Amino acid sequence: MARYIVRIARNTGIVLLFLLAALLGSVSGIVFAFGGDLPQISALDDYAPSTITRVYGTHGDVVGEFAIQRRVIIRYQDISPTLRNAVLAAEDDTFFQHFGLSIPHIVLAAIKDLIEFRKAAGASTLTQQLTRKLFLKDEKAWSRKVKEALLTIQIEKRYTKEEIFTMYCNQMYFGHGAYGVEAASRLYFAKSAKDLSLEEAALIAGILQGNVRQSPYVNMDAAVRRRNYTLDRMAEVGFVTRVDAEDAKKKPVVTRGDPALQASTIAPYFLEEVRKELEARYGAKQLYENGLTIQTALDLKLQEVANRALDHGLRRIDHLHGFRKPRRNVLEERHAVETFKHPRWDRPMAEGDIVPAVVANTDASTIGLRAGELRVTIDRKGFAWTRKTNPSQLVRAGDLVEARLLTVDAATHTATALLDQPPAVEGAVLALDNRTGQVKVMVGGYSFERSKFNRATQAFRQVGSAFKPFVYTTAIDRGYTPTTILQDVPVTFPGGAGSPPYSPQNYDHKFEGPITLRHALEESRNVPAVRFMDQLGPKQVVAYTRRFGLTSPLPPYLAVALGAAEATLLEMTSAYSVFPNQGVRMTPYSVLKVTDREGNVLEENRPEPKDAIRADTAYVVMNLLRGVVQRGTAAKAASLDWPIGGKTGTTDDFSDAWFIGFDPDITLAVWVGYDIKKPLGAGMSGAEAALPIWIDIMKAWIGDRKDPPKFEPPGNIVFVSVDKGSGTATDDGAAGSIHEAFIAGTQPGSMR
């Protein structure tokens, strides 16, 4: 019997050894078959996943971002213990004990596969999930599973648990373009991962299994269920007490981010200029994946004011042309008024906002609208600008219109509003720092979504009377003075071959006779400017203009004096900055510094000065342009009570309206017009169309400052009291006198 037992034991041992050898052979075969085909995990030594390139403004605020994956790299110590435990409880609570593979989980998953004939969830460890995301595809094949296991073991042998966990938290996707726990924390709760509360950490950990499907922005019920599941798991494994878990489950989910605004910016035209410039230098991969830091001088607060001011100004002009029939009717698209949804309605709506709304009904005097949960009413005052008295003449049920909210009652979900519409007219705004040339503000049009064409940098438009300062600069540099007498009388110049004679006219079709150069510029008289250009020589004036940086074609014709030639808003703004900057033109630029993700400086740009005109000439012309604001065509801006100068510009058919103005620190320019050249409307001059927008922006620039900067005169500038009308010298303080600036030797009574 004993011999029989020994024989059985020996045979069993042989079988076990055979099975062990077979198993080792199979493993060796698998390793041999797949080992040579595995990626090199040593690449993780320099783990550098795609991260966000951020563009910053002058005060450190984020202007915008470039990214394929919206990721913010975080260190292990910056992941709060609460979030660590939430991730572990939800995904792999034995992570710090296993060697990369969880045998109990694998066995349970295999049993479920056999019994339920479906893939079981929860079998993969954190390391396996990381391996799959970094090196493999999510395919349901045994070869992939074998490779995953082999790579997982290699990763576990090469890296510490803390390193693996950190890579996992930086790599995983959390929906809405957010990769990694830091980007997810900012997206959902507008805070860092190290500051998350228990219920917030549980919600983020719960999203891992379902990505967007369990986002609170997509399915709040699903998000709450996964959060509560994670809290229960945290209690089960002892990471939190059951009492704390139950208390956290009772708290509502309060999100503070907005996925619709993740990639938005209040300066899209500026951001696009930066993108084009840097992509040309560094390539798309470097820009979108390598987490560059880009410093600019953009003033975001002033940019926001400029956006609003331009929007308001364009709508004001657009209203003069009446109401246009709405382009979209949701009923015609087979939507019901009560169930139609618009993406804008997912964000808060407050007084002053202009929001899309669907017409629900009309009666004899009111329009009823729906904007999400809001019931909006527009009375006759709200559509009086349309010059229609019956709402049925304007809209019908189902029309999608714009409403400017006047009052909002959150308790009753009701509001009152004004009827509005997207303006057909376009415009642009640009501001440059006088001393550096840095771009402070850029608005390239009414809406970047409607048109990517940047009217601040790409549109060549006739500049109208904004060209006249270049004519008078040529004169001042040649010895003429603000008191030089010019003739505002009818004149006719012979036309060229086959062209009729040229007889310039003033805006008011009147003539004032002999007037000073100052008066001619302040009142933007056309005839004296053309006569003066003829006297100076068109070729000489054009040559001077080139010094200011204008590169577009400038034919040496007399009509160029009145702005018949074209230029961009950027060129004109840079040119005007010469006057307050003592004759020096600073090359405009947007990017100050670029650093890589390690902090290495890739480029650092500095101001590039170019001498344009003499400092004394620049000061005299600057002083002349101050008079345009104090007494001339831009007198509306005098109410700002600030050291400013500038010039209006209007084309003869009112198709282009300009105002370019400056103080000692910045030059700010506004252009208004249609993309397809046509009149803005009768009387829509630079003073009427562009100047009000400029004033609104300049008010914000001035703010509550009480100590204004000063225009410092060069040493050879002298001041003399002269009669405003005749230009003759007078006693200080005499009636009708002004304090005039002269280059030494050109003042009244001097010999030069």
Please identify every residue annotated as catalytic: 91, 465
Quick check: 586 and 435 in contact, CB under 8 A?
yes
Structure tokens at 172: 């995983």
Residues β-bridged to residue 141 = none
Q: What tokens were used for 540?
A: 């000489």
Look at residues 461, 517, 374, 391 and name the one whose alpha carbon lies nearest to residue 651: 461
Contact assessment for residue 457 and residue 273, using Cβ atoms and an 8 Å cutoff: yes
d(CA 375, CA 355): 12
Q: Which of 460, 427, 439 is nearest to 671 (CA)?
A: 427
Secondary structure (3-state) at 428: strand
Residue type, 525: R
Rounded to the nearest angstrom, the gap between the alpha carbon of residue 506 and the centroid of all alpha carbons in its chain is: 41
SS3 146: helix
Q: Any idea of the CA torsion for 357, 268, 293, 133, to the nearest 10 degrees?
A: 50
Nearest to 477 by CA among 669, 624, 662, 668: 624
- Smallest CA-to-CA distance from 618 within 579, 574, 569 is with 579
Contact criterion met (CB below 8 Å) for 434 and 586? yes
Q: Where are the alpha helices (DSSP H) in 437-513?
A: 468-477
Between the alpha carbon of residue 48 and those of residues 41, 87, 167, 596, the distances in Å are 13, 22, 10, 12
Angle ∠(550,555,561) on CA atoms, nearest 5: 75
Distance CA 155, CA 626 (A): 71
DSSP label of 339: T
Strands 717-723 and 737-743, sheet pairing: antiparallel
Contact 82, 201 (CB under 8 A): yes
Taking the C-alpha atoms of residue 443 and residue 457, their distance in angstroms, rounded to an integer, is 10
* DSSP one-letter code for 98: S
Nearest-angstrom CA–CA distance, 384 and 575: 42
E strand or H helix at 514: strand 513-516
Q: Give, in order, the Cα–Cα distances in Å from 652 to each of 471, 496, 505, 506, 521.
A: 18, 21, 10, 10, 17
